[in-house]
C-alpha cells in the first residue's frame, strides 16, 4: 500500500483511455481526493475553534495504482508542480503538506484575503458575497 498526499482543492480522477471503434473507454482510473484549503465546519469541532481547513488530504492507493500514476501525464503534471506526492508510510497529511505547493488559485476566498487586499497586498479585488443583512 502507498498513499498520495494532495494539496489540491478538488478531487482529481487520473484515467488511462483506449479507443475502441471510435469510442474512448477507460482502462484504468484512480481517484485522488482533494479538499485542501476548503473550510469544513465539522473540523472546527475536532481541531478546535477556527481550525476548519485541512492543508493536505491523503488517499490510500495500491502499488498498481502508484505505478499507473507515475506514468500518467496529468498526475506527473501535478507532481512536478508540488501539488501531489506519493508516500509509503501513512503520515499526517497536514504535516506532509507543509513542504508542498498550495493550490491557492482555486481555493475559496476568505476574510484574510479581503484584509490583505484592503492593505494593498492582494493581487485582485476579491468578490465578497454574504447572506447577512
Cell of 56: 493536505
pTM of the prediction?
0.71
What does DSSP assign to residue 39? Answer: B
Residue of 48 and 103 predicted with greater confidence: 103
- Could you tell me the pLDDT band of residue 38, with boundaries at 50, 70 and 90? confident
* Cell numbers standing for residue 65: 495504482
- Predicted confidence band of residue 103 (pLDDT cuts 50, 70, 90): low
Q: What is the mean pLDDT of residues 25-45?
A: 83
Amino acid at each position: 500500500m502507498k498513499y498520495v498526499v494532495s494539496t489540491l482543492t478538488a478531487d482529481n480522477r487520473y484515467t488511462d483511455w483506449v479507443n475502441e471503434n471510435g469510442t474512448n473507454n477507460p482502462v484504468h482510473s484512480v481517484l485522488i481526493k482533494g479538499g485542501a484549503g476548503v473550510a469544513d465546519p465539522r473540523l472546527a469541532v475536532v481541531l478546535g475553534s477556527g481550525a476548519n481547513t485541512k492543508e493536505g488530504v491523503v488517499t490510500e492507493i495500491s502499488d498498481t495504482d502508484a505505478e499507473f500514476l507515475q506514468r500518467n501525464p496529468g498526475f506527473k503534471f501535478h507532481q512536478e508542480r508540488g501539488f501531489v506526492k506519493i508516500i509509503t508510510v501513512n503520515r499526517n497529511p497536514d504535516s506532509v503538506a507543509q513542504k508542498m505547493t498550495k493550490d491557492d488559485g482555486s481555493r475559496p476566498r476568505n476574510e484574510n484575503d479581503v484584509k490583505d487586499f484592503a492593505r494593498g497586498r492582494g493581487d485582485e479585488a476579491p468578490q465578497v458575497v454574504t447572506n447577512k443583512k
